[in-house]
Amino acid sequence: MAGEDAEPGDNRRPRSVYGVGTEPDARFSLANERTALAWVRTGVGLVAGGVALTSFSTFADLPGLVDLVAAVACLVGASCATYALVSWRRNERALRRREPLPAPGGLPVLVVGVVLLAVLIAAYAVAAGLGAAASLP
Amino acid sequence: MTPPEGARPGERPSPPERDEGLQPERTALAWQRTVLGVVVGALLLAASGLRAGNGAVVWAAGVVAVLTLVPSVLRPPDGRLPSHGRLYAWSFLVRVVGLVLALAVVGAAWALSQAFGGP
């Protein structure tokens, strides 16, 4: 692993990335950094959405299902942030070895997760709306 | 952003170049947006905890906000390519991701405690 084509004097961490290949164009590394940051921001957005949902549910006295959805949103956000590190590492390795970039495997998972969250919240909204309509005189 | 600790002896670092694609500026702005997002998320959590009277949540969120904000104020990204051409993204990324994870864990724990009949 480490040592193949590693540049002398380069002691940056992680060694699994900087110990292989040669230095790529700094612009490519910067683009990789921005992509990782975009994943972090996606995670932050999900976490903030979950926090907003659970605080709203506390104040409006909504059922526990909403809190559960909020917890799932927080955990999915945490996974997005972790994926940022994983994908940065994979992409930087590929850049250093002049290999094609790996496919963004987290993207379909994220899309499915966001669609699921949206469907859950929409289903809850419809059920609550129907319940409120039925209780009208 | 960082000292040229990896520069080879006897090698004079050339002055930082400007990139016509403005990539360093965009990266610096991406960092600012990310830091801002984490701080806003932490403040949202702190405000909710304050309103709900949950002191532990307020403290945790406040600590995350301070730990996110302080390094970015002490060493703001300057939007230039480093003179030695070596970028140090990993440690910064790990720190920000760690703070987001802390925020997520506090938020999820609070939500779960609400869902299962906690205070």
In a domain, A47, yes or no: yes
| Pick from A119, A37, A115: nearest CA to A76 | A115
Q: Is the peptide bond before B82 cis (omega within 30 degrees of 0)?
A: no
- Model confidence over B32-52: pLDDT tens digits? 999 999 999 999 999 999 988
Question: Minimal CA–CA distance to A33: which of A109, A106, A111, A95?
Answer: A95
- Which residue has 């975009």 as its token pair? A38
pLDDT tens for residues A95-130? 999 999 999 999 999 999 899 899 989 999 999 999
Rounded to an integer, the average pLDDT of A89-95 is 95
B positions 10-29 inside 8 Å of A (CB) = 19, 21, 23-24, 26-27
Residue A4 lies in a domain: no
* CB-based contact B100 A81, cutoff 8 Å: yes
For A13, nearest residue in chain B (alpha carbons): B90
Alpha helix ranges (H) inside chain A: 15-18, 26-60, 64-96, 106-134
Domain membership flag for residue A36: yes
Instruction: Mark residue A84 as left, alpha or beta (left: phi above 0; alpha: psi -120 to 50; beta: remaining).
Output: alpha
Q: Provide, rounded to the nearest whole percent, the portion of chain B with pLDDT above 70.
A: 76
- Which pLDDT score, from 0 to 100, does residue A78 have? 96
Please tell me which residue of chain B has the smallest CA distance to A16. Answer: B90
- Judge contact between A70 and B107, C-beta under 8 A: yes
Inter-chain touch A37–B33, beta carbons under 8 Å: yes
Residue pair A96/A17 in contact (Cβ under 8 Å)? The answer is yes
Interface test with A, best of B23, B36, B57 (most A CBs within 10 A): B23
Name chain A contacts of B27, Cβ cutoff 8 Å.
Answer: 30, 33-34, 37
Residue type, position B25, single letter? E
For B114, the closest of A37, A45, A57 (CB atoms) is: A57
pLDDT at B10 over 80: no
Which tokens belong to A26?
């700094």
Residue A1 lies in a domain: no
Judge whether residue A3 has pLDDT over 70.
Answer: no
Residue A82: domain span: 15-134
Domain count, chain A: 1
Q: For residue A63, what is the DSSP state?
A: -
Residue A59 lies in a domain: yes
- A 42-71 residues inside an 8 A Cβ radius of B: 43-45, 47-48, 50-55, 57-59, 64-65, 67-68, 70-71
Residue B9 has pLDDT above 70, yes or no: no
Return the pLDDT at B2: 41
